[in-house]
Structure 1
Amino acid sequence: MTDTPIDRMTRATPRSVARRVRGLSDRAIAWLFVAPTIFLLLAINIFPLIWTVRLSFTNFAANRPGREVEWVGLRNYERILTSDGIWSNMQTTAHFLIWTITLQVVIGFTLAWLINRKFKGNDLLTTLIVLPMMLSPAVVGNFWTFLYQPQIGLFNYMVELLTGTPASSFSMLGAGGLAKWSIIIVDTWMWTPFVMLICLAGLRSIPDYIYEAAEVDRASKWRQFWTITVPMVLPFLMLAVLFRGIENFKMFDMVVLLTGGGPGNETLLASIDLKREAFEKWRTGYSSAYAIILFVTVFGLASIYVKALNKVKER
């Protein structure tokens, strides 16, 4: 008989341990292996959250650890929720979310629908479209900063050809309502392939016999699209919106790389404002309350959205 690795491991296990393991149920053994990972996740995620909640009720400042910490109760939350600047930042964040998600969904679904119609060079085209998603935000930020430069930016010369505005006097990263659109363009360029892949998975999960039955019933291509394609891809589309919404709500790196959080408050998203409060003004207690409010906002909206997603799946 062949001596397998499992047999050798069994012989190497101490008898006392072997007896205890034999007395455990399958569920107990499963928990025995899963428990260390769960404990680690709780330690990494739950403890910082509880500590942040505690700090949000104080005036603690991280740059002055020796100062006596004063308990301020709900004062930080009250100041945040009554601040006009905070609500302005939330409106800027909402504007960024709505436009990026809308563009990514429309363009991503269109690309997925076109690629799903198999043709020569399909695989090569898919690979080229997915390339931006594979790049790091640092590379993308530096690349597009070059394109947006007033003197040498290729993007500016394209605008000059279309509008007649001199390239040297035009800057997408400057003031005039264009800085936020520069970020929207870059984020759409980078993450539309992600939405496309999810939509493509949804399109390819639709059985061919459904379309064949619709053709037998003499349904037009337009009617097949709205009664078969859209309803069956909708759960995948909503899942993509959920992922991109959560990620874009906490957008930070791309904004800093492109605009540094400026000019003015035009691109001052809530995440950028939180960073300034925490690591520039060192208002740790205040910024902790700010973080909790943002967390509750994202968690609440995501919970409502997931319930809607589940209802769509049940149809």
Structure 2
Amino acid sequence: MSDTPADRLARATPPTLARKVRGLSDRTIAWIFVAPTILLLLAINIFPLIWTIRLSFTNYRANRPNEPVEWVGLRNYERILTDPDIWQTMQATAHFLFWTLVLQVLIGFTLAWLINRKFRGNDLMTTLIVIPMMLSPAVVGNFWTFLYQPQIGLINYAVEFVTGIPASSFTMLGSVTLAPWAIVIVDTWMWTPFVMLICLAGLRSIPDYIYEAAEVDRASKWRQFWTMTVPMVLPFLMLAVLFRGIENFKMFDLVVLLTGGGPGDTTLLSSIELKREAFEKWRTGYSSAYAIILFVTVFGLASIYVKALNKVKER
């Protein structure tokens, strides 16, 4: 008689239970294994979402749990959508999203194209480039805050070299005009390697025989790039934009570490405003409505973008 772990488990199983298990279909057994995961997702994701939707129609305040909760209907949504300060934060978020995505795509794709040429030291260069992506946002925020210091910050001296403005007379993080760009620079430095890796995967998925056939047809390098490389890498590039767009829309920790949400409203992103409403002003019902509006905005834009991505993949 064999004595494998499976055999020992079979002998240890009570006969009545064994008969019941043998009577179950494969579909039922599959649901038994999947059910705990579904219940966990419902508990962690679905229930909080439903609860947030319910709170968004009330004037509930988390710091006053014993006060009566009043049903206010759509009043919170109306106040949010007609508040000019909210639209100002949306504008700051859109500015941050646009420039970070543009810079990360351009620089990330360029780096991927250069690394894909397989020069000497290729692996070492790739490792060095991806280091910023491995760091914690807290480390990156503190590191770049030091670089932006007016007395010893290297960035200020670089600006002084280019513009002639004394480095000790200003700080980028304290300037209403330059603070948003300071955040864009840090996020681009940190997450461009992510875009580069996805683009590199796309470039290396292109078969070599396609380029060999193009050379036989005497197609120039420039024509190969625009008619072969870019179209075949475009789905990977769009996927990177989708991931980075969703993450940057939720950007919070890095901005707070660098600027604390200031100066003014130029770096006040939607996520920071949501945190202020929920945990500083304690307007829980109002902030719940704000969170639902942000969720619908991200979900709607992402759905449209995914449809466009699928059309590009089908070409």
TM range (shorter): over 0.9
TM-score computed with the length of structure 1 as normaliser: 0.98
Aligned AA for 1:294? L
Q: Name the counterpart of 1:236.
A: 236
Aligned AA for 1:39? L
User: Which shifted more, 189-198 or 3-12?
Assistant: 3-12
User: 1:140 Cα deviation (Å)?
Assistant: 0.2
Q: Name the counterpart of 2:250.
A: 250
Give the Cα–Cα distance (whole angstroms) in 2 for the partners of residues 115 and 10 of structure 1: 54
User: Which shifted more, 10-19 or 165-174?
Assistant: 10-19
Aligned AA for 1:291? A
Give the Cα–Cα distance (whole angstroms) in 2 for the partners of residues 2 and 168 of structure 1: 81
Q: Name the counterpart of 1:188.
A: 188
1:100-111 matches, within 5 Å, as 100-111=100-111
Give the Cα–Cα distance (whole angstroms) in 1 for the partners of residues 156 and 211 of structure 2: 46
Give the Cα–Cα distance (whole angstroms) in 1 for the partners of residues 11 and 236 of structure 2: 49
Q: Name the counterpart of 2:290.
A: 290
Give the Cα–Cα distance (whole angstroms) in 2 for the partners of residues 114 and 286 of structure 1: 49
1:44-123 matches, within 5 Å, as 44-123=44-123
User: Which shifted more, 95-104 or 18-27?
Assistant: 18-27
Identity of aligned pairs, percent?
85
Give the Cα–Cα distance (whole angstroms) in 1 for the partners of residues 296 and 26 of structure 2: 38
Give the Cα–Cα distance (whole angstroms) in 2 for the partners of residues 67 and 247 of structure 1: 36
SS at match of 1:173: helix
> Which sections of structure 2, spanning at least 5 residues, go unmatched?
none
1:196-235 matches, within 5 Å, as 196-235=196-235
Give the Cα–Cα distance (whole angstroms) in 2 for the partners of residues 76 and 118 of structure 1: 56
> Which sections of structure 1, spanning at least 5 residues, go unmatched?
none
Q: Name the counterpart of 2:11.
A: 11
Aligned AA for 1:208? D
SS at match of 2:239: helix
User: 1:217 Cα deviation (Å)?
Assistant: 1.1
Q: Name the counterpart of 2:29.
A: 29
Aligned residues: 315
Give the Cα–Cα distance (whole angstroms) in 2 for the partners of residues 203 and 280 of structure 1: 47
Give the Cα–Cα distance (whole angstroms) in 2 for the partners of residues 3 and 112 of structure 1: 54
Aligned AA for 1:247? E
User: 1:164 Cα deviation (Å)?
Assistant: 1.8
Q: Does 1:301 align with 2:301?
A: yes
User: 1:2 Cα deviation (Å)?
Assistant: 4.9
Give the Cα–Cα distance (whole angstroms) in 2 for the partners of residues 217 and 161 of structure 1: 49
Give the Cα–Cα distance (whole angstroms) in 1 for the partners of residues 182 and 270 of structure 2: 18
Contact 2:176 / 2:263 at 8 angstroms: preserved in 1?
A: no
TM-score computed with the length of structure 2 as normaliser: 0.98
Give the Cα–Cα distance (whole angstroms) in 1 for the partners of residues 85 and 152 of structure 2: 35
Contact 2:62 / 2:282 at 8 angstroms: preserved in 1?
A: yes
Give the Cα–Cα distance (whole angstroms) in 1 for the partners of residues 18 and 123 of structure 2: 52
User: 1:166 Cα deviation (Å)?
Assistant: 1.1
1:135-214 matches, within 5 Å, as 135-214=135-214
Give the Cα–Cα distance (whole angstroms) in 2 for the partners of residues 193 and 26 of structure 1: 44
User: 1:17 Cα deviation (Å)?
Assistant: 2.0
Aligned AA for 2:55? L
Contact 2:59 / 2:284 at 8 angstroms: preserved in 1?
A: yes
User: 1:218 Cα deviation (Å)?
Assistant: 1.1
Runs (4+) off by over 6 Å: none
User: 1:175 Cα deviation (Å)?
Assistant: 2.0
Give the Cα–Cα distance (whole angstroms) in 2 for the partners of residues 115 and 34 of structure 1: 42
Aligned AA for 2:236? F
State the Cα RMSD in Å: 1.0
Give the Cα–Cα distance (whole angstroms) in 2 for the partners of residues 262 and 120 of structure 1: 45
Give the Cα–Cα distance (whole angstroms) in 1 for the partners of residues 240 and 204 of structure 2: 16
Aligned AA for 1:196? M
